[in-house]
Amino acid sequence: MSLEKKHVLVTGGAGFVGSNIVEKLLNSDVSVTVLDNLSTGKFENIEEFISNSNFKFIKGDICDFDTCLIALEGIDFVCHQAALGSVPRSIEFPHKTHEVNATGFLNMLHASKEKGIKRFVYASSSSVYGDSSKSPKIEGEEGNLLSPYAVTKQLNEKYASVYSQLHGIETIGLRYFNIFGPKQDPNGVYAAVIPKFISRLRSGEDVIINGDGLQTRDFTYVKNAVNANYLSLFTENKEATGKVYNVACNDSFTLNYVVESLKEGLLKKGIQSKSNVIFGPERQGDIKHSLANINAIKNYLGYKPLYSFQEGVNEYIGSFL
């Protein structure tokens, strides 16, 4: 697809994944508008783009329908990354999680329908697989949901499917599997494990693992997720739309292995960590093992992981040292 004069709205574009997507789009000469209320996103993540003539920032909330309509003026495609992440946070604050992830999503999707948006790409989550014991995880073989966060992400997929059928919007959902990389916040009680681990290893603080550390995850470097969004936004394969896809590497590692890999990565950069590993209680809503089958996204979108787990770790560590 020709990208000339294309204009993409990235909701949550000041967040971790969103800001990385913005960078990729701008480097591809695509015009980008970011809609973000900066509640979890950070202005510093997009500050470098402000001087770019192809970039526009709107501070606003997807929970306000009129704001969604205004943000869509002149837009061709939507890349919806805005959400309130974290399974534990959703258990503690289910109403706020639903407001942002469910109502906010519907606002953005319906506003897109009202404005005649052709394509709507959105972030889903591996959490929709719930308690499914099947491995690797395959689209269409989900289990019972384990958290309010997972409920909202499944609801996103169902709304997208309905709007695709009723209104002809070309929707594509991307089920992220444990994304990590630059611009990911290591602070706070809801921080993701890899940036949190790196931060503690660098400072010599104890690394706390919930559970025995033998749980496995298909950790996915953010540039793989960015590529999946890029392919989804601009694919000309009509059979690819109206579906959801796993975004991962089809490879998984225990948290214990991850800590050791991070230690080795830091050591290569001259930092020898003296941190100890402390095992805490398991977290509510967590699954034991997560491994993705990525055949569908390969077949329909031509996706393949650009970075392995270790390649991603090496580049990530190098990005802030």
Q: Which domains does the chain have, with CATH numbers?
A: 7-177+221-248+292-307 (3.40.50.720)
- Residue 280 has a pLDDT of 86
- Residue 189 has a pLDDT of 52
CA-to-CA dists, residue 289 to 60, 213, 313, 321, angstroms: 37, 11, 20, 31
How high is the mean pLDDT of the chain? 93
In whole angstroms, what is the distance from residue 24 CA to residue 41 CA? 18
Nearest Cα to 174, choosing from 317, 21, 3, 7?
21
- Render pLDDT for 132-174 as a digit per residue (tens, 0 to 9): 989 999 999 999 999 999 999 999 999 999 999 999 999 999 9
Close Cβ partners of 22 (under 8 Å, ≥ 6 residues apart): 10, 13, 32, 34, 46, 49, 55
- Active-site residue set: 149
- Residue 269 has a pLDDT of 87
Task: Count how many Cα atoms sit within 13 Å of the Cα of residue 115 in the half-sphere of its side chain.
Answer: 24
- Which residue is associated with the tokens 């906010």? 104
Neighbours of 27 (CB within 10 A): 9
Weakly modelled stretches of the chain, pLDDT under 70: 1-2, 4, 188-191
**Which 3 state secondary structure label does DSSP give 8?**
strand
